[in-house]
Structure 1
Amino acid sequence: MFNMKLLGFAVFLILCAERRSFGSHPKPSCRYPPSQWCRSLEIAIACKVQKQCMEVNATRPNQSVPPVSITLYYESLCPACRVFITEQLFPTWTMLRDIMTVTLVPYGNAKELLSANSPFTCQHGEPECRGNLIEACIIHLTGHSAFQIIYCMESSTDVLNAAKPCLQLYAPSVSWSSVDSCVKRGQGNQLMHANAAMTRALSPAHTHVPWVTFNGEYTEENEDKGMSSLFQLVCQLYKGVKPPVCTGATVRLNRGFC
């Protein structure tokens, strides 16, 4: 899976490719983003990173130990939610995704109405309702790429207008028309209804967003820790052998150079 080691050799390969472009050899063809390079043997071969993926897999934590499960209840245009996603949650997941899982539930402080034309009302107005709907559809349609797309949107100046290019960047096989169809037809509202039900079922009931549960539970102590240093909290909560990135241990890998 993608972690800091994979990020390192991603940069390494990109630099190599740029250098080769000035010579007689063409750039290697790879239509997958770096986050997917080790997702399957076929992708690793296509992107010529089999050796690096084997090295990454060799240092992966014991998969028999359950990962730390984080669920974020949020709103697409909530400033505090955007800061948490971009400054805490996504960077931590990038480094620790071998020992943690992330579930995103866009809904937050919205309200479900008994109206066919406008079934939801949102704290930050209609644009936020549309943003929640778009993100719910993207999460449903893109699977493993969803978090990267949501991060791309939430870190952009204009969350809604960033949706299409972010989708094309991280999930090129998913067409924007499929997302648009989900948003405009009944499927999107069904997804939002499910998110509303999940949010209403929280115990204790949420009083603000971002609202974060760890392994299905909410505590003020974990919330305070997570908002200031989520990386340290995930390392602390993980019950297995800590990965090197948590302990600061040096891992020597056999690498080539350009």
Structure 2
Amino acid sequence: MLRLNYLVLVFVFALNQVCSDVPQKIFVTVYYESQCPDSKEFITNQLQPTINLLHKYLMLRLVPFGKARSINKGYNGFECQHGPTECAGNLVQSCALDLMQGRNDVEKVSYVACEMQTEAGTRGDMECVMRASVPVDQVKACVTSEKGIMLQLEDEYLTNLVKPKFIPTIIIGEVFNQQVQDSALEDFTGTLCSIFTNIPPCQEHYNSMAMRYVLL
């Protein structure tokens, strides 16, 4: 029933977004935090394979903040759901992603997946930064300066616009929808392929989904 509901919902969304044989890129935002088990599960098992498959059709924004909050506008640091190490991890990722603005989404998600799997940034370890070929000295300078604070304040602002009740929160388009959120957590590729039914990367995935419904 859950999948049927989201298929109907996303189909309606698709009618509003895809008006020609050439699909428009869809904006996707992921709100997450560096030590959240659910964020790790989504990014490694859902987001990364989906981005590898559909990156040509998406515009991705990654917001590493979650249920954190700034103290005295960030000048007294931040308070995070999973403690100070999570704040450190969020900050490292904000700085690294800022330096990766010219890179593609596959590279960005590969970097974030590394951080989520190893939690390197939460320990001040630059292993994932180095793997992503991001200048370590510039990340360290960002983390210890006002630049890092401003990046996390920006992520806080973006997160507060949504006021997520659950982390990670995934928004397809511009407006949060609970059914889309639930379906994205369960099958992110399938959710997007319900929109991009006419593109080659989705055809096999979409057809296999349709066959399962026929067999039910």
TM-score bracket relative to the smaller structure: 0.7 to 0.9
2:92–2:121 contact (8 Å) kept in structure 1: no
Partner of 1:185: 145
| Structure 2 Cα separation of the partners of residues 128 and 114 of structure 1 | 19
The Cα shift of 1:116 comes to 6.1
Q: CA 1:199–1:63 in 2, change beyond 3 Å: closer, same or farther?
A: farther
More relative contact order, 1 or 2 (CA 8 Å, 6+ apart): 2
Gap change, CA 1:162 and 1:229, over 3 Å in 2: farther
Q: Deviations over 1:145-174 (max 9, x none)?
A: 322211111122655358522222222xx3
Q: Contact 1:100/1:234 (CA < 8 Å) preserved in 2?
A: no
Residue 135 of structure 2 aligns with which residue? 175
| Cα drift, residue 201 of structure 1 | 1.3
In 1, Cα distance between equivalents of 2:74 and 2:121: 26
What TM-score, normalized by structure 2, do the two folds share?
Answer: 0.77
* TM-score between the two structures when normalised by the length of structure 1: 0.65
Seq. identity, %: 25
Give the root-mean-square deviation of aligned CA atoms: 2.2
Task: Give the letter aligned to residue 208 of structure 1.
Answer: F
Flag the 1:183–1:135 CA change in 2: closer, same or farther, 3 A: same
Where do 5+ consecutive residues of structure 1 fail to align? 1-61, 250-258
Does the aligned pair in 2 maintain the 1:77–1:159 contact within 8 Å?
A: no
More helix by share: 2
Gaps of 5+ in 2: 1-19, 206-216
Q: What residue is the counterpart of 1:232 in the other structure?
A: 190
> For residue 160 of structure 1, what is the aligned residue in structure 2?
122
The residue number in structure 1 matching 2:5 is none
- 2:61 matched to which residue of 1? 103
How much has 1:63 moved relative to structure 2? Answer: 10
In structure 2, relative to structure 1, the CA distance for the partners of 1:217 and 1:165 (3 Å cut) is same
Which of 190, 198, 203 does residue 158 from structure 2 map onto? 198
> Number of aligned pairs?
182
1:243 to 190, 199, 212: 199
The whole-number CA distance in structure 2 between the counterparts of 1:131 and 1:118 is: 17
